[in-house]
């Protein structure tokens, strides 16, 4: 992973004050996603992390986790599984509620999305307090995969989101604020 290229991508991230609620400093990665060079750098960096891990499924968390998750899945020849907000998936689902930095939310996954032999990368664009990813991890873990990795493009260090994630799972971020 070329750290100079990653730094250039990080510098493309826009800060949006008071979004979605007052007091939140939202890190908007869409400014990096719209840049084709940055998108290639992110894809290459993700692939480098997981290319030799036997990944069979990449699980992306709604909605920006769909972007990096899909890029990674295609590049690895793995399947892509969405985790969505309630009522968005058409078949039988499993759900988990969780607290986040500005409220409570629930996520769902299709109940047949993960199989016991799967090696899974759970992916989202950003790690803040860790609540969303912890709930996603619990959903996927309950389905009995062989191995789970957790990945973010960006991490907000001051919010200590890693503390909420399991200690026995490798957690990676490409850059942090």
CATH assignment of the domain containing 167: 3.40.50.2020
91 DSSP 8-state letter: S
Is position 71 within any domain? yes
Is position 45 within any domain? no
Is position 114 within any domain? yes
Q: Tell me the CA distances in angstroms from 158 to 120, 126, 127, 176, one per residue in order.
A: 27, 13, 11, 10
Is position 160 within any domain? yes
CA 79 from centroid of its chain's CA atoms: 15
Is position 89 within any domain? yes
Q: Tell me the CA distances in angstroms from 70 to 7, 17, 28, 31, 109, one per residue in order.
A: 22, 28, 19, 18, 16
User: What pTM, to 2 d.p., does this model score?
Assistant: 0.95
pLDDT of residue 36: 98
Is position 130 within any domain? yes
Residues known to be catalytic: 64, 101
Q: Looking at the 3D structure of the chain, how many domains does it have?
A: 1
Is position 146 within any domain? yes
pLDDT of residue 62: 96
pLDDT of residue 103: 74
pLDDT by residue for the chain (177 residues), tens only, comes to 799 999 999 999 999 999 988 988 999 999 999 999 999 999 999 999 999 999 999 999 999 999 999 999 999 999 999 999 999 999 999 999 998 766 789 999 999 999 999 999 999 999 999 999 999 999 999 999 999 999 999 999 999 999 999 999 999 999 999
Q: Residue 124 sits in which domain range?
A: 54-176
pLDDT of residue 101: 65
Is position 106 within any domain? yes
């Amino acid at each position: 992973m070329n750290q100079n290229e990653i730094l250039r991508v990080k510098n493309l991230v826009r800060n949006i004050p008071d979004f979605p609620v007052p007091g939140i400093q939202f890190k908007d990665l869409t400014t990096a996603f719209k840049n084709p060079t940055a998108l290639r750098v992110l894809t290459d960096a993700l692939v480098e992390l997981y290319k030799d891990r036997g990944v069979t499924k990449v699980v992306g968390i709604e909605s920006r986790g769909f972007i990096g998750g899909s890029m990674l899945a295609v590049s690895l020849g793995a399947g892509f599984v969405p985790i969505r907000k309630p009522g968005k998936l058409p078949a039988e689902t499993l759900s988990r509620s969780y607290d986040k930095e500005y409220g409570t939310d629930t996520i769902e996954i299709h109940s047949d999305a993960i199989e016991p032999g799967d090696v899974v990368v759970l992916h989202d664009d950003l790690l803040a307090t860790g609540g969303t990813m912890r709930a996603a991890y619990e959903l996927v873990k309950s389905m009995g995969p062989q191995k789970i990795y957790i990945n973010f493009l960006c991490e907000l260090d001051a919010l200590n989101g890693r503390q909420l994630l399991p200690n026995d799972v490798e957690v990676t971020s490409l850059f942090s604020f």
